[in-house]
Copies of this chain bind each other. A is one copy, B any other.
Amino acid sequence: MTKQGTPSRERIVSGTADLISRRGLNAASIRALAKHANAPLGSTYHYFPDGKRQVATEAVEYAGARVAHLLGERLEAGPVEGLRAFLELWRDIVVKSDFRAGCSVLAVSVEEPTGDDVPPELAAAAAAFEEWERLLTESLREHGADPEAAAELATLIVASVEGAVAMCRAKRSAEPLDRVARRLEALTAAAG
């Protein structure tokens, strides 16, 4: 009952996902997180006693689940339709933020694990990638694609879209995503 009753908590999580997607994890301070979510700093440690790491982990899980939900829904209309929704989702985020926001899952993936073992937020990122790939793979297979080719194409889709999001931000242009989109649509249509 923590989540539904307290909008603050959810605002912090979704706001954190957004801020991480913009600045990266290490550059997003807890104070900035709270301000970005219109939540008091004290609440952060109240809802997330384990501190920044916990907020970050939940934010990555949240972002991953959100994308997975939309992707899963749209894949019901076929792989090509799902791919289009996936592409459109990221294009909107990048363009509407004036190339300032991106993917929080990706942002977390490009920062070194400080210690010896895998930090939880990185594990959450890996899980998000795997879930997206799984959804795409299954949809492709259901529509007649070769099982192994389906898995490879799914990975290619996720990797190229994530990479294209970063390229769009660097170039301040949506062209990389658009180019990747055309190529991926052809591949997906041919595989289905």
Residues of A within 8 A of B (CB): 22-24, 26-27, 100-103, 105-113, 118, 122, 125-126, 129-130, 151-153, 155-156, 158-164, 166-167, 169-172, 175-176, 179-180, 182-184, 187
Contact between chains at B176 and A155 (CB < 8 Å): yes
Interface of A is mostly: helix
Q: How far is it, in angstroms, between the C-alpha of A56 and the C-alpha of B130 when the chains are bound?
A: 32
Q: How far is it, in angstroms, between the C-alpha of A179 and the C-alpha of B136 when the chains are bound?
A: 14
Q: If A23-B26, A24-B26, A24-B110 touch, does A156 touch B172 (CB 8 Å cutoff)?
A: no
Protomer copies: 2
Q: What residues on B are CB-neighbors of A187 within 8 Å? A: 187
Contact between chains at B129 and A169 (CB < 8 Å): no
Q: Which of B27, B170, B180 contacts A125 (CB 8 A)?
A: B170
Q: How far is it, in angstroms, between the C-alpha of A105 and the C-alpha of B167 when the chains are bound?
A: 9
Q: How far is it, in angstroms, between the C-alpha of A155 and the C-alpha of B168 when the chains are bound?
A: 11
Q: Which of B24, B126, B180 contacts A155 (CB 8 A)?
A: B180
